[in-house]
């Protein structure tokens, strides 16, 4: 059959090759992961048109490019005011402190105080009291912020602070706090409280960002008092309410120079979301000494902070001599973090991994169970905590270094989410956290428990584990 459009066929062929070559060059110049690079290059040559479209949508890290541009435009004057409060660490953890300083480009700060608050029953009253005392500013970021009775109490407190003249900024995640409809955003808008949804859009060409979530939980009042940790805002975190699926958690009240770093983390996210720069004395007042605990904020996300929290975990575990305690709601470490834990166990370090027997995501539990045998083989002790489901994220090494915050030990948290953790070089804090973790060592997992699963369950768990990066 005669082809009446030879020019069109030639043009399409040239376009296919051009697209495949363009994707290949971009992948080679920007991607570090060889398996991901091979996959993108392969699909671009097998299906040039479809492959190029998928790569443009899901393969190009626009988040990092946007972050680099915004960070170059903003300066946050408050950072310079804390230089004289830098803390040096001696002894076992000195190399870790130096590495984290270079990695994060944030100083380890002295003269801080910390209070551990378990569950919403203890944390919410302290947070609300802080908001009620606000005179100049309140910055609030939460992955989940529900429009239930707990959420309404926060909105009312924020409205009263605004009426007193305080500057209020609220940032919620575009997925966690409702994608198609966000009741809390509507409630905040009714009070004329400035609020934005992080990376939220219903436009099809913005859909690639649906997989990138702001999982940070931050509250800063007057630039002097801060809260961070794993606690979202919702009724399920109030254990005394006895909700259908109660969630235990751990949050931290911070005072001292460290609050500047917490404010800076929020300011970056706020600027990233809406372009407004938060600066000046109402957000970055002169730091005040509050205690003697050295601390540093560590942020991570698919921007300029790629994998920094995971690198901190890797280095902390590598330096362990005696014990490592890990408490996490979701345990799906990537290959290098799993290897580091197993190698530590093999060299004689006591590794205790505490996970919930049943979390609030059944698929994650299936994937986790499929990958626990290597940890048992290496000598790690895995414990299944009793209900209620505990959402705390805690890591303690040798009763001297603690790493706490919003990051779970899974690929989503460590590669895709925007997370915030806090490292602390203090034996008293580490001892208290270690004691809390130990109270949840209820049922030790054994090889027999794993082997006794039916073949059907093993197949199910292994199949779900294949989707680990997306859970």
Tell me phi and psi for residue 391, to 5 degrees. Answer: -100, 10
Domains 66-86+111-291 and 308-470 are alike in CATH topology:
yes
The token duo for 301 is 């996300």
- Is residue 280 scored above 50 in pLDDT? yes
- Dist CA 302 CA 272 (whole Å): 13
pLDDT of residue 469: 65
- Dist CA 411 CA 469 (whole Å): 5
pLDDT of residue 215: 95
- Is residue 69 scored above 70 in pLDDT? no
H or E element that contains 367: helix 362-369
Q: Model confidence over 400-418: pLDDT tens digits?
A: 999 999 999 998 888 888 9
- The predicted model gives 161-171 an average pLDDT of 97
Class of CATH domain 308-470: alpha beta
pTM: 0.88
Q: Based on the number of CB atoms within 10 Å of its own CB, is 314 exposed (0-12), middle (13-18) or buried (19 or more)?
A: middle
**Across 133-142, 203-212, 390-399, least confident range:** 203-212
Going by C-alpha positions, the residue among 168, 158, 174, 257 that lies closest to residue 208 is 174
- Is residue 76 scored above 50 in pLDDT? no
Tell me phi and psi for residue 140, to 5 degrees. Answer: -135, 125
Per-domain residue ranges of the chain? 6-60, 66-86+111-291, 308-470
Q: In the chain, what percentage of residues exceed pLDDT 90?
A: 69
b/e 64-83 (16+ beta carbons within 10 angstroms → b): beebeebeeebebebbeebe
pLDDT of residue 8: 75
- Four-point Cα dihedral 142, 145, 150, 155, nearest 10: 80
Please say whether the beta carbons of 331 and 355 come within 8 A: yes
At residue 157, the 3 state secondary structure works out as: helix
Architecture label for domain 66-86+111-291: 2-Layer Sandwich (3.30)
pLDDT of residue 107: 95
Q: Model confidence over 288-316: pLDDT tens digits?
A: 999 999 999 999 987 777 889 999 999 99
- Dist CA 41 CA 54 (whole Å): 12
More confident site: 466 or 31: 466
- Dist CA 315 CA 100 (whole Å): 9
- Dist CA 314 CA 460 (whole Å): 30
CA dist list (Å): 204 to 57, 207, 210, 274, 418: 10, 5, 10, 20, 22
pLDDT of residue 349: 98
pLDDT of residue 432: 97
Q: What one-character DSSP code corresponds to residue 304?
A: T
- The predicted model gives 346-354 an average pLDDT of 98
H or E element that contains 69: helix 62-73
Q: Model confidence over 11-60: pLDDT tens digits?
A: 788 888 888 888 888 888 877 777 678 887 888 888 888 877 777 766 66
- Dist CA 336 CA 214 (whole Å): 24
CA 130 centroid distance within chain? 24
Q: What angle do CA 429, 434, 435 make, to 5 degrees?
A: 100
- Dist CA 232 CA 251 (whole Å): 9
Q: What one-character DSSP code corresponds to residue 57?
A: I
The token duo for 100 is 């984290």
- Is residue 444 scored above 70 in pLDDT? yes
Count of beta carbons in the 10 Å neighbourhood of residue 457: 13
Q: Model confidence over 326-346: pLDDT tens digits?
A: 999 999 999 999 999 999 999
- Dist CA 274 CA 258 (whole Å): 25
- The predicted model gives 353-357 an average pLDDT of 96
Please say whether the beta carbons of 421 and 311 come within 8 A: no
pLDDT, averaged across the chain: 89
pLDDT of residue 70: 47
Strand partners, 324: 351, 397
pLDDT of residue 83: 65
- Is residue 184 scored above 90 in pLDDT? yes
- Dist CA 84 CA 77 (whole Å): 15
pLDDT of residue 10: 82
Q: Model confidence over 109-162: pLDDT tens digits?
A: 999 999 999 999 999 999 999 999 999 999 999 999 999 999 999 999 999 999
- The predicted model gives 171-190 an average pLDDT of 91
pLDDT of residue 78: 46
Please say whether the beta carbons of 5 and 39 come within 8 A: no
Q: Where are the beta strands (DSSP E) in 347-393?
A: 350-356, 381-385, 389-390
- Dist CA 386 CA 356 (whole Å): 7
């Amino acid at each position: 059959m005669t082809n009446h459009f030879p020019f069109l066929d030639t043009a399409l062929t040239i376009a296919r090759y051009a697209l495949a070559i363009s994707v290949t060059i971009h992948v080679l110049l920007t991607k570090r992961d060889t398996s991901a690079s091979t996959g993108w290059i392969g699909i671009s040559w097998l299906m040039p048109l479809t492959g190029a479209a998928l790569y443009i949508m899901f393969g190009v890290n626009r988040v990092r490019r946007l972050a680099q541009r915004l960070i170059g435009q903003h300066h946050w004057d408050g950072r310079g005011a804390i230089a004289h409060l830098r803390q040096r660490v001696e002894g076992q953890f000195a190399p870790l402190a130096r590495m984290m300083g270079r990695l994060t480009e944030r100083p380890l700060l002295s003269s801080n105080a910390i209070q551990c608050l378990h569950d919403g029953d203890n944390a919410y009253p302290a947070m609300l009291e802080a908001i009620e005392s606000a005179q100049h500013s309140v910055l609030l970021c939460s992955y989940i912020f529900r429009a239930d009775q707990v959420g309404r109490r926060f909105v009312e407190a924020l409205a009263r602070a605004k009426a007193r003249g305080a500057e209020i900024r609220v940032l919620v995640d575009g997925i966690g706090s409702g994608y198609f409809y966000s009741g809390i955003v509507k409630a905040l808008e009714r009070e004329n409280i400035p609020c934005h949804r992080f990376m939220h859009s219903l436009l099809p060409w913005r859909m690639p960002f649906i997989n990138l979530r702001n999982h940070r939980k931050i509250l800063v009042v007057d630039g002097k008092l801060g809260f961070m940790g794993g606690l979202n805002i919702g009724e399920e975190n109030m254990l005394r309410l006895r909700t259908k699926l109660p969630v235990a958690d751990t949050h931290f009240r911070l005072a001292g120079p460290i609050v500047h770093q917490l404010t800076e983390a929020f300011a970056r996210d706020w600027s990233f979301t809406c372009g407004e720069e938060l600066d000046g004395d109402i957000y970055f007042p002169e730091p005040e000494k509050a205690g003697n605990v050295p601390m540093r904020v560590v942020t991570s996300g698919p921007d300029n902070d790629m994998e920094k929290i995971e690198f901190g975990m890797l280095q902390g575990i590598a330096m362990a001599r005696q014990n490592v305690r890990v408490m996490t709601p979701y345990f799906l470490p990537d290959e290098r973090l799993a290897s580091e834990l197993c190698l530590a166990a093999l060299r004689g370090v006591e590794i205790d991994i505490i996970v919930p027997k049943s979390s609030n995501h059944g698929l994650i539990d299936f994937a986790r169970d499929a990958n626990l045998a290597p940890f048992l083989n290496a000598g790690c002790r895995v414990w299944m905590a009793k209900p209620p489901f505990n959402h705390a994220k805690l890591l303690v090494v040798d009763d001297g270094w603690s790493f706490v915050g919003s990051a779970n030990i899974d690929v989503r948290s460590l590669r895709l989410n925007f997370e915030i953790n806090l490292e602390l070089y203090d034996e008293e804090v580490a001892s208290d956290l270690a004691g809390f973790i130990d109270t949840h060592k209820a049922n030790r997992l054994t090889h027999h428990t794993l082997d006794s699963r039916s073949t059907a369950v093993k197949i199910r768990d292994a199949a779900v584990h294949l989707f680990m990066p997306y859970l």
